[in-house]
Amino acid sequence: MSSLSSSSSSSGSSGLSGSQVAAIAGGQVESEPAETSHAPRVSEFFREERFFLVLSVFIGVFAGLAVVCFRFAIEWCRIYLLGSGAQLSTIRLILTPTIAGLVIAILVIHFFPQARGSGVNQTKSALYIFNGYIPFKTAVGKFITSALAIGAGFSLGPEDPSLQIGACIASALGTRMKLSRERMRLLAPIGAAAGLAAAFNAPITAVLFVIEEVIGRWTAGILGSVVLSAISSVVVMRWFMGSESLFRIPPVELRHPSELVAYAVLGIIGGLFSVAFAGGLSVLRPRARHLARWTQYAQPAVAGLLIGVIGWLGAPQVMGAGYEYMDEAIHGRFTWQFLAILAGLKVIATLLSFVSGTPGGLFAPTLFIGAMLGAAVGGVEHALLPHLTASPATYALVGMGVLFAGFIRAPMTSVFMILEISGNYSIILPAVIANGAAYTISRALMPVAIFDILTRQDGLELPSMEEQREENVLRVEDAMRAPNVPVIEGDDTVEKALRTLEKAQQEIVLVRLKPSGWSSLSRAELREFIADNKAGQAVGSLLAFKQIPLLHPDMPLDMVLRYVDRWPVVPVVNRANLRKLDGIVTERDVLERYRDFSGE
C-alpha cells in the first residue's frame, strides 16, 4: 500500500482547518494576503481532499460488506443454535444461551478483550484517545462474539457492533495507507457512520447519530466524507439484502391535534422507563465488574441461562434483536398487557446481557422496549379514550423514538430515525413532542447520559456530546465594548493622527483604511514616522501591509485570541458596512470574559 504521509503532513504543516478551506473556497480571505508559495499547497490539499472522499466511498463499501456478513453470521448462529422454527425446544432455549455465554466469556477474556461493550464508546475512545486507531483484531472479535451472542438469544442488537466494525475497517485502511494523525482521527467516525447506516439501512439516521453522539459537532470538513461512506454502505447493504426498511410500516396519520396529548403521555412514560433502564445499567454494571475474576467467566453463562428461562416461561420474543416482534407490535398483533410485559422483560434481559459483559449493542433492545411500550401505552389510551384514531403502528414507532431520545439521549437522531423508518412526515409532530418530553424527563432525572456513565465506569474521560451540544459558546460581542479609542481616516496625515491621539490621551489610534480594512498605530509608531520625515504622509499609505483581520460581533470569542498578541486593540466591525465600527476588544476584555464565564 502506498504511503500518503508526505502529502498529509504537508497539509498538516500548512495548518489549514476545515473552516479555512471553506473560506478559501468561498473566496473570503480576510486575513493576510495569500503568499504565492501557498498555491501549490492548496492544490495539493484539494487533491488530498478528493482522494479522502474517494477513500470514504471505499470505507462505506467495505463496511457495508462487513455488515452484510455480520447479519448472515447472526442469522446462521440463530438457525444452527436455536433452531429454524419460531417455537423453540426447551433444551435449546435453556442450554444454547448458557453454553454460548461460556464460550463468549472465554473469547472475550482471552482473545478479544476490546470486543466487550456496545461499540459506541470504544469508537469514541479511538477518536479521542488513540488518534483514530482501532486494532483490526477488535473488529474480528466483535464480529464473532456479537454474532454468537445475538444468535444465541442474548438480548442485544447488531447496530452498535456494526458501528464499531465499520470504524475498525476505516482505521485498518488508514493505518495501511499510513495516513496522517489528523486524517486517522477523521476515519473512525466515517467508518462508524458507514457501519451504522448499513445496520439500520438508514443513512440519514447514521450520519446524524455519528455527528450527534460521536463527533459532537457539525464539522463541514468531515460531513461530506461521512455522508458518502454512509450512502455507499447502504447501497451495498441494499444490493445484498434488499431495499426494504427494518419494519413494514402501515400508513400513519394524525387526524386530530388533540391526539398530541396522548403522545405527550407516551413521552412522559417513556422518559421514566428510560431512566429506570439506564439507572439499572449504571448501577448493576460496575457491581458485576467488581465481582471476583473467576465470575467473569460465569457471568455471561448465568445471564444466558436466565434469559433462556425467560424464553422458556413464555416470552422468547425478548431473545435476540427481536426485529420480527417489533414488526408484529407495529401491526397490532399483541394485546397491550402482553406488550407491557414484553417491555419489562426486555429491560431485564438486556440488563442481564449487557451487565454480564457480553458484546452486543443497545440500539435494538432500546427500539424493542420503545416499540412495546409505545404500543402498550397506545392500547391503554385506546381503551380509555376510544375516539383516538392513531394505530398501534404509530404508537410503536413513536415509542421507539421516545426510548432512543430518553435512553441513548440523541434527540435529533431519534426524530429523524422515526421519519426515515416510517417514510411519513405526518409522524414528525407526535415524534417531536413525545421525544422532547422523554428527553427532558430523562435529562432532569439523570443528568449524565448513559454512554458517558459507561465511559467513566471504564476509567476514561471522553467529551460528553450532550454537554458539548448544550455548552454556551462565547462570541466576540460578549467581550466587545464601545470604542473608546480615537478613529482616524487613512487619508489623514501622520501629524494629524498624533495630534488626535494626544488630544484623546490614548496610546492607540484606529485607522479606517480605503476602500476597506482597519489598522492601528501606537504613539511610538507615529513618533517614529515623524522622525523619518513622514509627518505629511497619509497614514493609509504607510499601513498597506499592516491590516488587522476583520472581526464581527457574532464570531467565536477564541478568534480574538489569534490577534490580540499582535494588535493591542482589535476593531469589531459591522458585517453590512465594513467601515462602521461596532466596538473594540482587547486581550484583557477577552480574558475577563472567560474568567466570568468559568465562574471564578
Partner 1 sequence: MTKTPELLLRIFPSSRREVATLVLLSGLAAACFTAVAGLSRIYYGQQEALAERWAGRGAADLKAGNFAAASTEFGTALLYSHDDFDSQLGLAKSLIGQGRIDEAYGYLVSLWSQKPENGTVNLELARIAAGRNDRQLALRYYHNAIYGIWMANPEASRRAARWELTKYLLSLRATANVQSELISLSADEGDDPAEQKNIGDYFLKVDDYQHALASYRISLRANERDVAALKGAGTAAFSMGNYVLAQRYLQQAVEAAPGDHDAETKLETASLALRMDPFRRQITQPQRDEAVRASFAAAGNRLQSCAAVASYPALLPATNPAGEPLGAAWKKLEPQIARGKGFHDADAVNQAMDLVFAIEREATSQCGAGTPADTALTLISKIHEGN
Which residues sit at the interface with partner 1, rule CB under 8 A? 1-4, 7, 44, 47, 50-51, 54-55, 58, 61-62, 65, 68-69, 72, 75-76, 79, 84-87, 173, 177, 236, 240, 244, 248, 250, 324, 331-333
Shortest Cβ 239–partner 1 spacing (Å): 9
Cα separations in angstroms, 46 against 17, 53, 59, 171, 527: 12, 11, 20, 22, 46
Task: Give the residue with the Cβ less far from partner 1, 80 or 111.
Answer: 80
Task: Please say whether the beta carbons of 215 and 167 come within 8 A.
Answer: no
Rounded Cα distance, 324 and 293, in Å? 37
Print the SS3 string covering 120-131. Answer: HHHHHHHHHCCC
Task: Give the residue with the Cβ less far from partner 1, 44 or 477.
Answer: 44
Shortest Cβ 599–partner 1 spacing (Å): 50
Task: Give the residue with the Cβ less far from partner 1, 76 or 111.
Answer: 76
Shortest Cβ 2–partner 1 spacing (Å): 4
Task: Please say whether the beta carbons of 265 and 377 come within 8 A.
Answer: yes
Task: Give the residue with the Cβ less far from partner 1, 176 or 514.
Answer: 176
Radius of gyration over every alpha carbon of the chain, rounded to an integer in angstroms: 29
Task: Give the residue with the Cβ less far from partner 1, 311 or 517.
Answer: 311
Shortest Cβ 11–partner 1 spacing (Å): 13
Shortest Cβ 495–partner 1 spacing (Å): 54
Order of strands, sheet of 487-489, starting from the edge strand that comes earlier in the sequence: 487-489, 508-512, 518-522
Q: What is the largest CA-CA distance in the chain?
A: 102
| Bond from prior residue into 430 cis (ω within 30 degrees of 0) | no
Shortest Cβ 84–partner 1 spacing (Å): 5
Task: Give the residue with the Cβ less far from partner 1, 362 or 367.
Answer: 367
Rounded Cα distance, 3 and 19, in Å? 26
Task: Give the residue with the Cβ less far from partner 1, 194 or 572.
Answer: 194
Task: Give the residue with the Cβ less far from partner 1, 54 or 444.
Answer: 54
**Across the strands, what pairs with 518?**
512, 548
Shortest Cβ 428–partner 1 spacing (Å): 22
Shortest Cβ 230–partner 1 spacing (Å): 17
Rounded Cα distance, 346 and 340, in Å? 10
Strand 570-573 versus strand 581-585 pairing type: antiparallel
Cα separations in angstroms, 423 against 26, 418, 435: 35, 8, 18
